[in-house]
Amino acid sequence: MRLLLIHAETFEFKAREKAVEEAEPLEEAIEHLTLTNTLVVFTTVEEGDLKGGEEFIETVSTDIADIARKVRADSVTLYPYAHLSKKLASPPEAIEVLKLLENSLKRKEIKVVRAPFGWYKSFTIKCIGHPLSELSREYKPELAKARRVLPREYFIITPEGDVIDPKEYKFSSEEEELRILVEKEVFKKELTGGKPRIVEVCKKFGFEWEPMSDAGHMRYGPHATVMMEAVMEYSWRVAKSLDIPIFRVKGTNMFNLKFRPVKEHAELFGDRLYELTSDNEKLVLRYAACHQQFAMIKDWIISYRELPFAAFELADSYRYEQTGETLLCFRLRKFYMPDLHIFAKDLEEAKSLAFKVQEKIFEEIRKLGRDYVSIYNITRDFFDSNRDYIVELVKREGKPVLAVIHPPGIYYWVLNVEYNIIDELKRPREIATLQIDIGNAERFGIKYIDEEGKERYPVIIHTAIIGSVERYIYAVLDKAVQDEKAGKVPVIPTWLAPIQARVIPVSSQFIEYAEKVLSKLLEAGIRADLDDRDLSLGKKIRDAGIEWIPYIIVVGKREKDTNTINVRIRATGIQKSMSIEELITIIKNELCDYPQVDSALPTHLSRRPTLHYLRELTEQKKT
């Protein structure tokens, strides 16, 4: 089944004449109607949809109902529409599916209007126009089981070991972020709207949508490229810092669904799969490094003596996010995941290793001056038999968490922790992850030989310690945005700044000295450039401020005569005179333990084309 969902301010349709012989009698449907504030669901029923049964219909109706509530539509209009697929169900089957879908929605207390099937109809529609006003969905009966709504129990677990119903929990003033998370996840509270400032900041640094690609695909300008490469290299350093034997690998980004392990693992992602067809084979683009690493490691000969060890890949990953839900640097169809899998002998060893991973996850987010609020997804059997362990994890976080208890035997994991920041719009945003996986080693055939010479399946820890590359950058930029809202100067860490220092001569007669300063900075491995354009000093300083450059170096007669530099430090607002060597030492200390990648821009601004994203910001400053 394929759906096109449009939130309409007004929608009118009228049946004109039969389109097929088996058209639905008009007395069984509505011939003509005008509606306001309705979610119009253009619906194509495909071959096999009827065989999906009640479970399939329930999956579809639940999604429609959720969207209708999110957009606050007064009604849902089911509109038969044969143009979204070539694999159409027969008219009798399509009519039956539409009736089942209508009844399922009504049971959810949704007001439903169903247009007649098999008629040529005229219609007019006025789309409201907001991020969720135009969506598409595809449903397959064979995925309904994996996507069905499962019973869940919600609790708040405290570091003291209390397990409390969220309805009864009393949030302290220090637990505002946890309250926001619980209201969204448990009570499904509508989140505040508004245009996120971070979108403008992402564009400032050259993170943009690529309009000539599929939706949800980004392009990275020179500034963004430096930031991406720096975080990519840093993610590898972070993985190595766990002090576990680690192998870095690379692989393909697509896998064939005809292979059972791939199909079973992929089915858990439902309509988030990014599929394509080649040589009549159905392929899925990977959504993390799991498929490649597992397909590779199953061929390794592993002894218990070599465990634990880890595999790492910076994997280009793909998830078929809905067009209206994509967000620059956060919700993407293509992104880069620094995916780490740790292979342990058994569950007890995996539980112990998870402590080390958890510690590293919090260490990294706290380096950015912020913290996580966590969702612990736990299977019921694991929670019942490992309650003390779960409490110990919470205790090590030092604050309460939201626990979601799931039925056993559905997922490959027994524990799946989602680490969320709360962004500028007070919305939870998942960044880092940690999972304990007891199913995929057997599914993919990954084995090791134990002390007694017997084959056993390892337990696997999945983690992205800093999150995807783009989401890590999102966390950095969102922190700057929140600081800006609080009246502070927005900054980003020097190691991540595309340009770390800019040299600005007071006038052209000091270019030669400015070149000398630039040369020393570059020799020290600092990303520096020189504004040698024929512009006023004030304009040059403003442009450097637009790019959030950490160190602005102004040189004139006094600096040349004394062999010094005048430095404006963005983070502190301090302006002071110092030697070039002193500044290099300051910057080098900030860069300690962080990667230093090359600049992606020419060193002289006079030799650069005008980057459109910076030009737009300059024009905004003028107005």
pLDDT in tens, 36-57: 999 999 999 998 888 888 888 9
- Whether 146 shows a pLDDT value over 70: the answer reads no
How much is the pLDDT for 460?
Answer: 98
CATH 3.30.930.10 intervals, the chain: 153-251+293-477
* CATH classification code of 494-622: 3.40.50.800
User: If pLDDT is split at 50, 70 and 90, which confidence band does 270 have?
Assistant: low
Contacts of 256 (CB under 8 A, 6+ apart): 262, 281, 282, 283
- Burial code (b: 16+ CB inside 10 Å, e: under 16) for 389-401 equals bbbebbeebebbb
CATH 3.50.80.10 in the chain, residue ranges: 2-147
CB distance 101 to 43 below 8 Å? yes
Q: pLDDT tens for residues 391-421?
A: 999 999 999 999 999 999 888 999 999 999 9
Residues of the chain with CATH 3.40.50.800: 494-622
pLDDT in tens, 166-221: 999 999 999 999 999 999 999 988 766 678 899 999 999 999 999 999 999 999 99
Mean pLDDT across 73-89: 92
CATH 3.50.80.10 fits 2-147, yes or no: yes
For 530, the token pair is 């020189």
Q: pLDDT grade, residue 142 (50/70/90)?
A: low
Residue 532 CA to residue 506 CA, distance in Å, equals: 10
Cβ-contact 81, 43 below 8 angstroms = yes
Q: Return the percentage of the chain with pLDDT > 70, whole number.
A: 96
Q: Is a pLDDT exceeding 70 seen at residue 431? A: yes
Fold of the 153-251+293-477 domain: BirA Bifunctional Protein; domain 2 (3.30.930)
**Amino acid letter at 31?**
E
**Would strands 274-278 and 254-256 be described as parallel, antiparallel, or unpaired?**
unpaired
* Mean local confidence (pLDDT), 9-31: 90
Q: Which residue has the tokens 């999150």?
A: 467
